[in-house]
Amino acid sequence: MSSTASNSSALPKSQCADYDAQVNALNIGRFKDPFSFLGAHKVSESNIEVRVYLPDAQHVSLSIDNQIFETQRYKHSDLFIARVSQLPTSPYLCTAKYSDTSTTFFDEYSFNSELDTDAMYLFNEGSLEHAYLHFGAHFTNQQDVDGVRFCLWAPNAASVSIIGEFNFWQANRHFMRFHPASGVWELFIPELKADMCYKFAITAQSGEVIEKADPYAFKMQQAPGTASVLQYKPEAIALSEQAISNRQKRNHIDAPISIYEVHLASWQRGEGNRYLSYTELADKLVSYALEMNFTHLQLMPISEYPFDGSWGYQPVGLFAPTSRFGDYNSFKYFVEQCHKYNVGILLDWVPGHFPSDPHGLHRFDGTHLYEHADMRQGFHPDWNTYIYNYDRPEVKSFLISNAMYWLHQFGLDGLRVDAVASMLYLDYSRKEGEWIPNCYGGRENLGAIECLKQVNLRSYKNNPGIMMVAEESTAWPGVTQSVEHNGLGFGYKWNMGWMNDSLLYIQRDPLYKQHHHHEITFSMVYAFSENFILPLSHDEVVHGKGALIEKMPGDDWQKFANLRAYYAFMWAHPGKKLLFMGGEIAQRAEWGHDHSIDWHLLEHESHKGIKQTVKTLNEVYKNQPALYELDSSAAGFDWIDNNNNEQSILSFVRYAKNAHDFVVVIANFTPMSYQEYTLGVPSKGVYKVIINTDESEFFGSGIKVSKNQSNTVVTNDNPQHGFNQSITIAMGGLTTIYLQKVQDE
């Protein structure tokens, strides 16, 4: 059976005028309520019209409930109308003939809305933890038809269309349905395939058309491409009870945590300077971490980013693992290899700012949707990026959900949150008059504080055993206090004070160190105020700061000795450890993001000595509870002598939970060596050397602490430094030594 639609002359003039207006809106791509006009509509008791708008089509027929209906073009437009006897009971097919082809497809406007109103309520409230399950592009089955459901938050847009290679990037083809209660747009498009590219064409109230990538896309094109790519939602890594238990143990406050910070694009390159894939890195990098005895890997941001020079810190695709190294399944494999070998994996997360790329979040719907409109609140002067509006509930849902995505989908050990200080302070890097106080007249960003608290609360609740880490460079109180006790709820905080002071000290000429002794001792004043990680991160070897080895004073031998002594001091200092790649081989050049680490340096004994030092330090660290169990407690540390500024020698004791288990540490930060150096020790007995950075295996001078073959020293009854017992040792210049009591005398 077939039927022919009425032509325009059969319509009343008032209806023609209405249709003309609708057609004009369709033509210009500004149509806010497509379902009110397109699809099947009851015009009167006896008149049901099915309307389809297909640019460039020459003829259209419809297959509705097993009947074929011919349409008629409205005037000279691309609107085609069929008159039918009853409303369709299911989605119907269109067959469109073009000049050179014909195609049959389901009409998008014959599908019902399946928007989850409960989820939208939580999203608008700022508490939707898994927004990525609702927003973005999802392969699904709707009304027995396979396709992709698109969902977008753009409350101030006049119109939103989906554009892509499946509709020749036409902005007037797939208009989305608007839900004014939630500010969300939605459309189901049948029969799309994975790896098709798409964007959203958003018409602002001003009439401006903005093409935006999908904020929730699971994959994005590489630059210079800017489109999102259709992908099936990644299946979450299913963690066994044993895997969760392992995660809890390796991330616990009383666990040994030694983190190797890595930029995947430049850790190692393949032939022709190509990137290694996630799969290759799963073999090479995880094996290397195991070889070097690191407990964790920390990846600099891998959320999709357009500009290599941002190192990932200006991401556009927060839900898309960068495709530089492969697809998300390859990244899952990388994470699974870490789990297999009990190597923790942390990811840099950037909720503090976003870049100005036109396809990104800035002025997303023609208004300042994700950022503050006022530049004094919404723009970072340091990085030329935009600041999230943390007071907006939907932005909070977006960020909370992104944290949940990485932790839940990939089973990560945690997130290192970048630039927390810039989030906390409204006047961060701003002069007087360049910032707006909060409602109480203060400089605290109340929205950001609450957002961070919610991220941490929900992250720990939903992902047992993780660690949330703050890169926070100020004295903000309670960063690692629980939210219930008015803290921010992080598990760990980078100790930037220790890093700045100790690096400043270690770079000084040994002749002048005696005048700056406080720089190396001051960190113990606040060492237990937070749960700290001691970072020597990528930030210390870029932008003209020079490599760590080149910061060291003196000739080449002294540089290497100084660095070895400094590393051993760091590994003995209270706090977990983090070292950026290249530091373990004493890379001489500043880090560059576009080439590999200078692995060829390992041809030299001096560089091999640094690598062996770090490897041994990690091994000793993991095997000595005194070096990690009480990192956040004053009970785990006691000075032996912190006042020997004239010789620039420090000595202290690290205790395990079992107070009889301790390690004595002596650090000599001048080139002067000593045949007999006496210091007090906690108890009588025999002490064995477990680290001496002056050993020849580390490229040291080979001065032995003890003259006996067993490398041990015995206490005597000579009181020193407030202790009843003391030992006398030999000590090389620029050397750090660890001693462990192995037996009572």
Tell the residue number behind the tokens 């036109």, with chain if given: 358
- Round to whole Å and give the CA distance between 405 and 462: 11
* Cα–Cα separations (whole angstroms), residue 227 to 196, 319, 591, 604: 10, 14, 31, 47
- CATH number of the domain at 122, please: 2.60.40.10
Element (H, E) at 297: strand 296-299
- Round to whole Å and give the CA distance between 131 and 117: 12
Query: Can you tell me the mean pLDDT for 353-358?
Result: 96
CB 291 within 8 A of CB 252: no
The band of 603, judged by pLDDT with boundaries at 50, 70 and 90, is very high
- Determine the pLDDT at residue 743: 83
Strand partners, 534: 577
In the chain, the amino acid numbered 158 is A
Judgement on whether residues 126 and 106 belong to the same structural domain of the protein = no
Q: Could you give the angle at the alpha carbon of 306 between the alpha carbons of 538 and 228, nearest 5°?
A: 135
Query: Can you tell me the mean pLDDT for 159-187?
Result: 96
Using CA of residue 494, residue 496, residue 501, residue 502, what is the dihedral sign? positive
- CATH number of the domain at 694, please: 2.60.40.1180
- Determine the pLDDT at residue 11: 60
The band of 14, judged by pLDDT with boundaries at 50, 70 and 90, is low
Judgement on whether residues 65 and 199 belong to the same structural domain of the protein = no
Output the six-digit token pair for 259: 């983190």
CB 173 within 8 A of CB 161: yes
Judgement on whether residues 83 and 152 belong to the same structural domain of the protein = no
CB 414 within 8 A of CB 469: yes
The reply to whether 210 falls in a domain is yes
Task: Find, among 507, 509, 534, 511, the residue nearest to 523 by Cα.
Answer: 534
The reply to whether 421 falls in a domain is no
Output the six-digit token pair for 122: 């939580």
Query: Can you tell me the mean pLDDT for 610-628?
Result: 98
Judgement on whether residues 33 and 93 belong to the same structural domain of the protein = yes
Residue 648 has pLDDT above 90, yes or no: yes
- Determine the pLDDT at residue 4: 42
Phi, psi of 385 (to 5 degrees): -125, 175
Domain boundary among 110, 143, 170: 110
Query: Can you tell me the mean pLDDT for 597-604?
Result: 98
- The 10s digit of each residue's pLDDT in 478-509 is 999 999 999 999 999 999 999 999 999 999 99
Query: Can you tell me the mean pLDDT for 595-616?
Result: 98
The reply to whether 699 falls in a domain is yes
Residue 231 has pLDDT above 70, yes or no: yes
- Round to whole Å and give the CA distance between 711 and 689: 6
- Determine the pLDDT at residue 204: 96
The reply to whether 495 falls in a domain is no
CB 88 within 8 A of CB 65: yes
The band of 5, judged by pLDDT with boundaries at 50, 70 and 90, is very low
The band of 1, judged by pLDDT with boundaries at 50, 70 and 90, is very low
- Determine the pLDDT at residue 83: 93
The reply to whether 674 falls in a domain is yes
Query: Can you tell me the mean pLDDT for 622-649?
Result: 97
Strand partners, 414: 346, 467
Output the six-digit token pair for 683: 């108890």
Judgement on whether residues 82 and 212 belong to the same structural domain of the protein = no
- Determine the pLDDT at residue 173: 93
The band of 3, judged by pLDDT with boundaries at 50, 70 and 90, is very low
The band of 745, judged by pLDDT with boundaries at 50, 70 and 90, is low
Element (H, E) at 118: helix 117-125
- Determine the pLDDT at residue 708: 86
- The 10s digit of each residue's pLDDT in 291-327 is 999 999 999 999 999 999 999 999 999 999 999 999 9
Residue 6 has pLDDT above 80, yes or no: no
Catalytic residues: 418, 471
- The 10s digit of each residue's pLDDT in 26-53 is 998 889 899 999 999 998 877 899 999 9
Judgement on whether residues 91 and 191 belong to the same structural domain of the protein = no
Judgement on whether residues 89 and 123 belong to the same structural domain of the protein = no
Query: Can you tell me the mean pLDDT for 570-593?
Result: 97
Question: How does DSSP classify residue 6?
Answer: -
Domain boundary among 229, 258, 289: 229
Judgement on whether residues 59 and 20 belong to the same structural domain of the protein = yes
Domain boundary among 92, 110, 128: 110
Judgement on whether residues 13 and 100 belong to the same structural domain of the protein = yes
In the chain, the amino acid numbered 480 is T
Strand partners, 149: 138, 188
Task: Find, among 720, 469, 663, the residue nearest to 578 by Cα.
Answer: 469
- The 10s digit of each residue's pLDDT in 249-282 is 999 999 999 999 999 999 999 999 999 999 999 9
Judgement on whether residues 564 and 653 belong to the same structural domain of the protein = yes
CB 382 within 8 A of CB 374: no
Tell the burial category of 287 from Cβ atoms under 10 Å away from its Cβ (0-12, 13-18, 19+).
middle
- Determine the pLDDT at residue 438: 95
The reply to whether 52 falls in a domain is yes
The reply to whether 240 falls in a domain is no
The reply to whether 607 falls in a domain is no
Residue 700 has pLDDT above 80, yes or no: yes
The band of 658, judged by pLDDT with boundaries at 50, 70 and 90, is very high
Judgement on whether residues 92 and 159 belong to the same structural domain of the protein = no
- Determine the pLDDT at residue 2: 41
Domain that includes residue 16, residue range: 8-110
Q: Report the domain count for the chain.
A: 3
Q: Is the peptide bond before 224 cis (omega within 30 degrees of 0)?
A: yes
Judgement on whether residues 545 and 686 belong to the same structural domain of the protein = yes
pTM of the model: 0.95
Please name the residue ranges forming H helices in 202-277: 241-251, 264-267
Query: Can you tell me the mean pLDDT for 367-376?
Result: 95
Strand partners, 83: 49
- Round to whole Å and give the CA distance between 643 and 639: 10
